[in-house]
Amino acid sequence: MSNLIIGLTGGIGSGKTTVANLFIALGVDAVDADQVARDVVIPGTLSLSRIVERYSDDILLATGELNRAKLREIVFNNDAEKQWLNDLLHPLIREKMLRDLAACDSPYCLLIAPLLIENDLTKYVDKTLVVDVPEEIQLTRTLKRDKSNETTIRQIMKSQITRKKRLASADYIIDNTSENLAVIEESVFQLHQKFTELASN
Ligand SMILES: CC(C)(COP(=O)(O)OP(=O)(O)OC[C@H]1O[C@@H](n2cnc3c(N)ncnc32)[C@H](O)[C@@H]1O)[C@@H](O)C(=O)NCCC(=O)NCCS
Ligand SMILES: Nc1ncnc2c1ncn2[C@@H]1O[C@H](COP(=O)(O)OP(=O)(O)OP(=O)(O)O)[C@@H](O)[C@H]1O
């Protein structure tokens, strides 16, 4: 169990994974809620059967895995379906995430969670680190990365807390606007030293 848990959050496409990978390269253990969300719907799980019951086999890829792109289009364009999926998955995600966090043993560890503030997961962390970029950058980077469309991405952004409220909940902020990775690496390194010191006190 680590001495200190840092909650790393940010809106869709803000750069949570990019920033988290820089901490991981420095030897920091991390639990990624997006990865946990994938783990709880692998073939053979009860949750995947519930999803198939609701949307039929059409929601699966030929491999039997969840067609995530298809479910993304459904839930982020229909609030009731999004609520149904959140109610199904969030308790399972929370349980596995807490188990994985207890197994971390670097001096401090990261909980990477896009909905850290929205889902009141801040109670499980000691400090909140927000990865921040302007909304237009979130949109352009996500569109470039995913085979999605602008309407869906804007819907996802709308279903998350506003940038202003997220920043107001932050103990620390990483500005991820620069496209020069060395700049981001330097911010991460400064924070790593601060967190290592906090964890040793
Ligand atoms: C709908 C799904 C299958 C789409 O999968 P896809 O691979 O396209 O996206 P991925 O899971 O990588 O999520 C991408 C980003 O979308 C945003 N996002 C995902 N789920 C949600 C949600 N329920 N509410 C708001 N934003 C969300 C986050 O910023 C996340 O980082 C997937 O997002 C999902 O299962 N969501 C429900 C579980 C959840 O809330 N996951 C977030 C971590 S707690
Ligand atoms: N500083 C940066 N400069 C240029 N591109 C970046 C930068 N940071 C991240 N990206 C790119 O932007 C996209 C989104 O970044 P990333 O996947 O790290 O965000 P995320 O917050 O984890 O996203 P999601 O919420 O969707 O899981 C990726 O394609 C990534 O390579």
Per the model's pLDDT, the better-predicted residue between 93 and 201 turns out to be: 93
Task: Look up the ipTM and state it.
Answer: 0.95
Total domain count, the chain: 1
Q: What is the pLDDT of residues 3-27, one digit of tens each?
A: 899 999 999 999 999 999 999 999 9
Q: Can you tell me which residue has the tokens 């030293």? A: 193
Whether the pLDDT of residue 201 is over 90: the answer is no
11 is in an annotated binding site: no
Which residue's CA is minimally distant from atom 29 of ligand 1? 12
The binding-site residues of ligand 2, defined as CB within 6 angstroms of any ligand atom, are 10, 12-18, 34, 114, 141-142, 145, 176, 178-179, 184
Say how many Å lie between the CA of residue 53 and the centre of ligand 2. Answer: 33
Q: Do residues 133 and 14 make contact, with C-beta atoms less than 8 angstroms apart? A: yes
Whether the pLDDT of residue 2 is over 90: the answer is no
Average pLDDT of the residues in 114-130: 96
Whether the pLDDT of residue 147 is over 80: the answer is no
Say how many Å lie between the CA of residue 138 and the centre of ligand 2. Answer: 8
Rounded distance, CA 64 to CA 55, Å?
A: 14
Q: What is the pLDDT of residues 30-46, one digit of tens each?
A: 999 999 999 999 999 99
Q: Is 97 in the pocket of ligand 1 (CB under 6 A)?
A: no
Rounded distance, CA 100 to CA 32, Å?
A: 9
Give the structural domain span for 82.
4-200
Average pLDDT of the residues in 175-182: 97
Q: Can you tell me which residue has the tokens 């790393």? A: 8
Sheet hosting strand 172-175, strand order edge to edge: 29-32, 108-112, 4-9, 127-132, 172-175
Nearest atom (ligand 1) to Cα of 75: 1
Q: What is the CATH number of the domain that holds 106?
A: 3.40.50.300
What is the band of 151 on the pLDDT scale with cuts at 50, 70, 90? very high
Say how many Å lie between the CA of residue 71 and the centre of ligand 2. Answer: 21
Phi, psi angles (nearest 5°) of residue 77 = -115, 10
Q: Is 114 in the pocket of ligand 1 (CB under 6 A)?
A: yes
Whether the pLDDT of residue 76 is over 80: the answer is yes
Residue 114, pLDDT score: 96
What is the band of 104 on the pLDDT scale with cuts at 50, 70, 90? very high
Task: Tell me the pLDDT of the chain averaged across its residues.
Answer: 96
- How crowded is the C-beta side of 24, counted as CA atoms within 13 Å? 13
